[in-house]
Structure 1
Amino acid sequence: MKVMIFTEGGIKTGFGHLTRCIALYDEVKRRGIQVELIVQSDVDLRNLVGSRHCTIINWYTVDYLSKVIQADMYCIVDSYIATRDLYQVIAQRSKSAIFLDDTNRIHYPDGIVVHPSLSTNDVPSGSLAGPKYIILRDAFREEVRPFIRQKVTNVLITVGGTLQPSLIQSIVRLICFNHPEITFHILIGDKHDSILERELLSVSNIILHRYVPSHEMKRLMSCSDLVITAAGQTIYELIILGIPFIPIKIAGNQERNMLALRSKKLISSNVTWGSSTFGQDLQTEFKNMLHMHTRTEQTMNYEGLLDGDGPLRIVNSLLRSQDFNLFLRKATIQDSQQIFELSNQEYVRKYSINQKPILWETHKNWYQQVLSSKNHLFFIVTNPSNQVLGQIRYERITNYAVISISLSEMLIGKKVSQPLIQQSLMMIQQEWKDIREITAYISNENIASKKTFERVGFKMNAHEEDNKLLKYIYIME
């Protein structure tokens, strides 16, 4: 299985699409599935892409797509530029395809269309749309509520990858010059305007930053009392971090975001670069945001907007099997009740080492300890409705780990155990790179389980406890 993600990122197009594709890449990689980024770009992307498998190439040709896409591949496309003919080739040649869209740009061919936005207005029926499909990078997946300070002392300015010297110069002239008591942190790209850079460095209350990895970007945002930003992907990261911001519409595809922000009472004005009232609107909005109560009110309205699980839902939709829709992901504290109910199913207890029913308080304490432990990896099996249908756990013991699996009675006869175990082995290989062996303890009476582990590649090593348990060993590649 392989997933190919097609997108673009650079001076002309910005980096919003690339950053959300990186989030999808990481979600696929977490599942132990081979994945590759295919990016059209005019700049060096190493700082953004890091060690991820990425090919920089002009992929906007039928010949190239026909050559690289095979029938068993899954594809994700996030593009301002690709034509419908290119989408048609991807849809026809791949096993399944997802197309990300912000503006109903074209009429898409057969595939899953996703509109990651705060708004679902004007979204074609059948699409996946709304806040629950908003894509956030790993560093921004957890909701935060920071302390709102009374005075604004640090402001971050980030207007996207499309470096616009005149826009930055206007913000500096309108805002930075007039507030010498505030330190302004301005983000510029690796491929920057040297004249603008020299000009900005001469201003005493300005600090420049290159484009940075996501964890460093999160730090910059979290240290800011206010952010002036383009109204693109960055606004979602600020919302989940709880950081007050002023959005500037700098491109047509950001109009949907601005409308959604106003409808949810997150902003009151419409600061648009290039409009006749841009300067007045920006200064008015900045003056309002200097008041602590205005910033506090804005962040209170963030509550419950995003949950950070957009990448999980999108990848689940992409990989959905036509036969039986199952997904494997890391367990969360919200899964506790369903795991408790699964663990007490008669079918599950029958083949467990301890066959007695589990008490809720016992389960709750155990579950919290396992989730917080660095020596445990806990995966759950779900269907598209997020119903828990199984669990696969690994407990690390020095240089080997012990696997434990239990599946709902609903999955009997579905022949899903083997692929789920294989997928979980690939996932732990990403997490624990030094693990060399996996041990499984299986009831001698559980013939189906013994056969499943043998098909995966486990070899019986020894008998345990008067032949009631068998010890199986799997050697990691």
Structure 2
Amino acid sequence: MTLWLYSEGDAARGMGHLSRCLAYAQVWRQSGGDVRWVVDGDAAARGMLGGECVAWHAWQQMPPLPDCGEDVAIVDSYSATLDTLRQISGHAGRTMFLDDTERLAYPDGLVVHAAPGVGVDRGEARWARGPAWQPLRPAFAEVPRRSDVVSAITRLLVLMGGTDPRGLTSRMVALARQAYPRADIHVVLGSAEVPEPAGCTVHCRLDAMAMRDQMLAADLAISAAGQTVCELARCGTPAILIGVADNQQKQLREWPILGTAVAAGWWHDAQLDEQVLAALAAVTAPETRYAMAQAGQDAVDGQGVARALAWLKGETS
């Protein structure tokens, strides 16, 4: 049985789609299955998927289709048309759609909408909602419980997205330094083309295990409000969130309601610096950060990939 992965990613759109699809691919392959990718992407995407079997082209209106009725498919796209999704669903044994914005009334299959909060299910597909379905990479499947927190913040992690599309990293490092002048500040960059900020330790192109270790070591993170938020929650790392893309609106609203993070606002807010400093001040107390850590690890158990692949294999309904 082959898993077909339809996705997209580049410097402009980010690598979030590809990152979460890689989580499915790795676990599927570990169970003995084959993986075929169909990707609309650039050189950065090619680097990320090095070693994978990939057909590279803009597939969103005319996709190559599974040629065996036993094959299954995952579609992770903001631009694929409904007709394209119907074609894929009609040729695959089972099809799963990853959705962040409730953008379509999906055809027959399973829609995974992993953001917190409620919504309206549309279309023929069954909807699976909530962070328990988030496709975390295998390194995050087993994570130690954060049993306590330090009294003062001594290590802070800055994560503004793999390609830092809004150019916020240096600015956030400066704000972190202003709020916590004695803390060690660590930054993770997904591309060597992103300028390295001064006054911090920079880590570039970390694999999943190294990223997990950075999150576990941090007392607090400043993060873009993408899927990295789920990895931080899994590690029990309290977070200050900044929206850097339109599809992050629900993340920015719902994670603070769950109690795992504080929303500082949007990248284009005129008073963003002041809002970030206020958010950093709001999590100074260790009891506040402890409650955030517990809420995050309660919400995300790291088994989202296993749940999804069990459905694709027909082991669950």
If the length of structure 1 is used for normalisation, what is the TM-score?
0.61
Contact 2:134 2:304 in 1 (8 A): yes
Alignment match, 2:157: 156
Identify unmatched segments of 5+ residues in structure 2.
none
For residues 156 and 70 of structure 2, the distance between their equivalents in structure 1, rounded to whole angstroms, comes to: 48
Listed as ranges, the matches of 1:51-450 within 5 Å are 51=51, 53-55=52-54, 57-66=56-65, 69-124=67-122, 126-146=126-146, 147-164=148-165, 166-177=167-178, 179-193=180-194, 196-197=195-196, 200=197, 203=198, 205-320=199-314, 327=315, 384=316
- Change over 3 Å in CA distance of 1:33–1:311 after alignment to 2: same
1:251-270 Cα deviation digits (max 9, x unpaired): 12111112221322334544
Tell me the TM-score normalised to structure 2 length. 0.89
Post-superposition offset of 1:177: 4.9
Structure 1 pair 269–31 and aligned structure 2 pair: CA distance change class (3 A): closer
Q: Is the 8 A contact 1:144 1:240 kept in 2?
A: no
Distance, in Å, in 2 between the alignment partners of 1:46 and 1:148 is 39
Structure 2: which amino acid aligns with 1:89? Q
Is the contact made by 1:47 and 1:211 (CA closer than 8 Å) also made in structure 2?
no
Query: Hey, what does 1:391 align to over in structure 2?
Result: none
Amino acid at match of 1:144: P
Checking the alignment, whether the CA contact within 8 Å between 2:8 and 2:39 is kept in structure 1 is yes
Q: Quote the Cα distance in structure 2 between the aligned partners of 1:152 and 1:268.
A: 16
By how many angstroms is 1:234 displaced?
0.9
Mean CA deviation greater in 294-303 or 215-224: 294-303
Q: CA deviation at 1:191?
A: 4.6
Contact 1:10 1:42 in 2 (8 A): yes
Q: What amino acid is aligned across from residue 210 of structure 1 in structure 2?
A: C
Q: Distance in 2 between matches of 1:250 and 1:165?
A: 7
Aligned residues with identical type, % of pairs: 28
Counterparts of 2:8 and 2:296 in 1: how far apart (Å)? 30
Paired residues, what number? 314
Distance 2:219 2:26 in 1: 30
Cα distance in 2 between the residues matched to 1:315 and 1:88:
20
| Aligned Cα root-mean-square deviation (Å) | 2.4
Amino acid in structure 2 at the alignment position of 1:309: Q
Aligned pair 1:34/2:28, yes or no?
Answer: no
Distance 1:269 1:44, change over 3 A: closer
1:212 & 1:89 partners in 2: Cα distance? 36
Cα deviation for residue 233 of structure 1 reads 0.9
By how many angstroms is 1:61 displaced? 5.0
Shift of 1:167: 1.8
The one-letter code of the counterpart of 1:20 is R
| Aligned-residue offset at 1:64 | 4.5
Query: Secondary structure of the residue that 1:142 maps to in structure 2?
Result: coil
* Aligned partner of residue 127 in structure 1, secondary structure: strand
1:133-191 C-alpha deviation (Å, 9 max, x unpaired): 12111000124223411221221111112423632233234333564422221122325
Q: Is the 8 A contact 1:187 1:208 kept in 2?
A: yes
* Matched residue type, 1:9: G
Deviation at 1:50, TM superposition (A): 5.8
**What is aligned with 1:6?**
6
CA deviations over 1:110-151 (Å, ceiling 9, x no partner): 222221222233344831222321211100012422341122
**8 A contact 1:230–1:248 mirrored in 2:** yes
Q: Is the 8 A contact 1:13 1:161 kept in 2?
A: no
Report the 3-state secondary structure (helix = DSSP H, G, I; strand = E; otherwise coil) of the residue aligned with 1:14: coil
* 2:179 and 2:281 in contact (8 A); partners too: no
Stretch deviating more after TM superposition (152-161 or 141-150): 141-150
What letter corresponds to residue 316 of structure 1 in structure 2?
Answer: A
The structural deviation recorded for 1:289 is 2.1
Runs (5+) with no aligned partner, structure 1: 321-326, 328-383, 386-477
The 3-state SS of whatever aligns with 2:209 is helix
- The whole-number CA distance in structure 1 between the counterparts of 2:280 and 2:229 is 16
Cα distance, 1:23 vs. partner? Answer: 1.3
